[in-house]
Amino acid sequence: MSKEYKAIRAIVSGGGTGGHIFPAISIADKLKELNPDTEILFVGADGKM
């Protein structure tokens, strides 16, 4: 039995280093895995990774 989820929008924020960005990407990937209709907006530091 599969569940249907409502599409959601999420903001994921990380600093300018891999220590912040890679965990943020992992969270976004998991959200998309659980619900492919999820829209992700990533907010990071200008001019950084």
Q: How far apart are CA 38 and CA 6, in angstroms?
A: 8
Q: Is residue 48 part of a domain?
A: no
Is pLDDT above 90 for 9?
yes
The range of the structural domain enclosing residue 39 comes to 9-43
The whole model's pTM is what? 0.73
Contact status, residue 16 vs residue 27, Cβ threshold 8 Å: no
Q: How far apart are CA 45 and CA 49, in angstroms?
A: 8
Q: Is residue 49 part of a domain?
A: no
Q: Is residue 18 part of a domain?
A: yes
Dihedral sign from CA coordinates of 28, 31, 36, 39: negative
Q: Is residue 35 part of a domain?
A: yes
The band of 35, judged by pLDDT with boundaries at 50, 70 and 90, is: very high
Is pLDDT above 80 for 49?
no
Q: How many domains does the chain have?
A: 1
